[in-house]
Chain A
């Protein structure tokens, strides 16, 4: 029965070929540092799942943002876990994505034929920082607010367009409810869309080109 269903599915989707391409391929012998990429991917999934769960209660409006985060943290069953995972997952993801990049540099894995994989990786690194920056404001507590004040003021020194850039980013001269909603929109819709797209390309290329082998001395 299972085989029959599998055959039917394979006929309509060709999944066996895809499955074999993804899972049954052979990989050069590699060491533990090669798990950093998949670990980053794993924390990304944690962030997606916990992030979605947080949006069930979070309201991006100054008074309610704080009240809802407080409700999630202090009153909802396992709210502390969901928010805690998301909070620490963010730090973990930044750390892992940087270590992953360092590993790639050390093994020269950005070289032919993986140049484009590398460029998507750099974009993903920047995206991760953007996630961290926009997400930091959302709880709307003192730490969030003032870190964003400092963060956006730093950007103000950009020559010529600095002031305009900051005003556009904040939706006004000062941090306000408008800033909160646009940071929320970026953190929940814009950045994840880009992230999924880039991660998709990145993983496709990793599978297509294979993972780098550990270079031997003199190679």
Chain B
């Protein structure tokens, strides 16, 4: 502004003032009216709305959806447009530009014009800024409904989403194809999203993955299935069974009496995929556990490329031709291989050959063959691998991707020996040699719970274990072990530890009592309770094991009934012997004492195992996954167990040595078949089967 302009303005202003009004009382009167209105409005807001006070701050509660005060919401919303490294633009650059613009405004807008019509740029920028702020604020309010606001009651998955995700992500999240969403949720991102694995169980994360990837699947489920089913119950369902049920419509036995349409008639193929993705989330580790590990075992081994792996999975056994090795190997080599696969122990030289020619597909798993001749034929001519389902027809693309990604990654895991060594050095001190837990040295009066139980491992995926080991659990006195957090272990070493712990799932170091949810009815008799709970550690016949041998006469004489009752009722601290008084009625414990006393009189035989007793549950747990839907022998009923089987009876009552069942379970079968294929069952479990067959395989 030039000097003349300034002087002209001052002159003009003097003129304006002369024509004006006195500050008191005219202007103050106006101000008072506004102040008065504001005061009334504030009192009304204080009275009718009030200032809320929520629960006291809980820093450990990560499920709380944080919201800034409304006047910061526009900034909060702005950040959503600047993901990752760009965040600095939304947080620093734009606000600094805005503030500098404001401060320098009188020097940016130097003209002498004052009417808004004469200053289009400044007015334009201001209006744009204000409109943008209002728009962002409204958007933030709309996108993130307050927790629990709009969820349909009973839709637990949606509630999970609202509680955990909606605060930042709004009502939907766009996920780029190929993203491993499970990993993102459980590990968090470096863009500021926290890791959820400490707050959500693997089931819940899977439910969220399904919900986010397949919103349409959730809708279909909610409208078509939720009347009878809950989403949780199906999350662990068998993918084959699920697809059968959906394709068969009312032809699926449990749906017989219901008016269930075939899904191909009511759903588009995209919707079908969404529904499957919603129900069986694309989570490689869970898919592997549910669908593959019953045949392939828990430890994943695959030496080929990801593309090869994908092909194997998609095509499954029906299309997966083994090459005719007759064309590439000599007769002698084929003979060695055939001998090796028929009886590995007799042909040690076959191991190397197998590793060269077969292991890229078969890994360490030796295929099952009936006889040497069959093996020669199979190797020389190749052929289809019919046992393996054609997963390409069962899994959705997303599920297949996740499975392949998991297997490819897991196959590169280190061997268990180094993990075991690391465990012994770093963990066994507090967690016990077998992960059984014990007194917490860091905090008095605290017991470290077992970490090797099926329950513990099932509910924590590898990401979670990795996080716990690396970051520690400061609240419980566990220091961080990862080098990134100041601990002694590198990332690779933490991975080795996780792999070692994961192997516990296949071979539990200690059979711990089942969790309380498997607890017997209050009406169960002492004998039933014993069979269900106590026998796991103390032996079906009181012969002992992890727990005390009740059949030992000296133990029986050293303990009064009262001692036994107290031991059951109160348990022993820091062992798997929990205080059963919290689970069982005192009447049941009294009956247990009576039952335990029977071992004294009968020595070590309280009667042989029966099908209805211990045997059927072993079959169900370890065999039915394959034997049942895939043909051959079936153990799902007593009659079937004794009468089905290929090439002769599987069970010869009274003759365990010649029963195929026993042979395969103790690796004495002439063809080298072992059951389960993933590895033999624990000795005491096998012993129950042997005892049962030896006793004439009684039904009850």
Contacts and interface: CB of A to CB of B under 8 A. Distances in A.
A32 B88 contact: no
Q: How large is the interface on B (under 10, 10 to 19, 20 to 34, 35 or more residues)?
A: 35 or more
A144 interface: yes
Contact of B22 (A25, A69, A101): A25
B37 to A, nearest CB: 9
Nearest to B62: A146
Given A42-B35, A112-B6, A140-B57, A88 B51 contact: yes
A147 B66 contact: yes
Given A35-B31, A101-B102, A158-B92, 8 more contacts: A25-B22, A29-B21, A63-B56, A105-B126, A108-B113, A115-B106, A146-B64, A159-B88
Nearest to A109: B114
A92 B71 CA distance: 10
B1 A111 contact: yes
Interface stretch (B39-47, B302-310, B335-343, B641-649): B39-47
B118 A218 contact: yes
Interface string B371-395: 0000000000000000000000000
Contact of A118 (B26, B34, B99, B106): B106
Interface stretch (A5-13, A149-157, A191-199): A149-157
Interface stretch (B11-19, B437-445, B672-680): B11-19
Given A35-B31, A132-B71, A27 B22 contact: yes
A132 B23 CA distance: 32
A28 B68 contact: no
Contact of B23 (A24, A32, A212): A24
Nearest to A21: B23
A35 B69 CA distance: 26
In order of increasing CB-CB distance, the 5 nearest A-B pairs are A84-B46, A145-B57, A146-B66, A87-B51, A108-B114
A105 B114 contact: no
Contact of A154 (B21, B22, B34, B79): B79
A62 B114 contact: no
A122 B57 contact: no
Interface residues of A, number: 86
Contacts of A27: 17, 20-23, 26-27
Interface of A: 22-30, 32, 34-35, 38-39, 42-43, 46, 62-63, 66, 69-70, 73, 80-81, 83-89, 91-92, 94-96, 101-102, 105-113, 115, 118-119, 122, 125-126, 129, 132-133, 136, 139-147, 149-151, 153-155, 157-159, 174-175, 210, 212-213, 215-219
A212 B27 CA distance: 14
Interface of B: 1, 6, 9-10, 13, 16-24, 26-28, 30-31, 33-35, 38-39, 41-43, 45-47, 49-59, 61, 64-72, 75-76, 79, 87-88, 91-92, 99, 102-103, 105-107, 109, 112-119, 122-123, 126, 130, 192
Contacts of A113: 6, 10
B143 to A, nearest CB: 15
B71 A94 contact: yes
Given A22-B23, A85-B46, A107-B114, A91 B67 contact: no
A91 B43 CA distance: 13
Given A87-B51, A88-B45, A111-B109, A32 B68 contact: no
A24 B22 contact: yes
7 contacts: A22-B23, A30-B27, A39-B38, A63-B56, A85-B43, A110-B109, A215-B115
Given A42-B38, A126-B99, A28 B13 contact: yes
Contacts of B34: 32, 35, 38-39, 42
Given A27-B21, A115-B106, A144-B57, A150 B66 contact: yes
A23 B22 CA distance: 8
A142 B57 CA distance: 4
Nearest to B92: A158
Nearest to A174: B59
B56 A150 contact: no
B53 A38 contact: no
Nearest to A90: B69
Nearest to A82: B46
A80 B50 contact: yes
Contact of B17 (A28, A39, A101, A153): A28
Contacts of A210: 13, 17
Contacts of B6: 112-113
Q: Which of A81, A139, A143, A210 has the most CB of B within 10 A?
A: A143
Contacts of B69: 91, 132-133, 136, 147
Contact of B19 (A29, A86, A129, A219): A29
Given A43-B38, A141-B56, A106 B116 contact: yes
Given A158-B88, A175-B59, A210-B13, A46 B42 contact: yes
A81 B28 CA distance: 26
B20 A29 contact: yes
A125 B88 CA distance: 23
A141 B122 CA distance: 42
B123 to A, nearest CB: 7
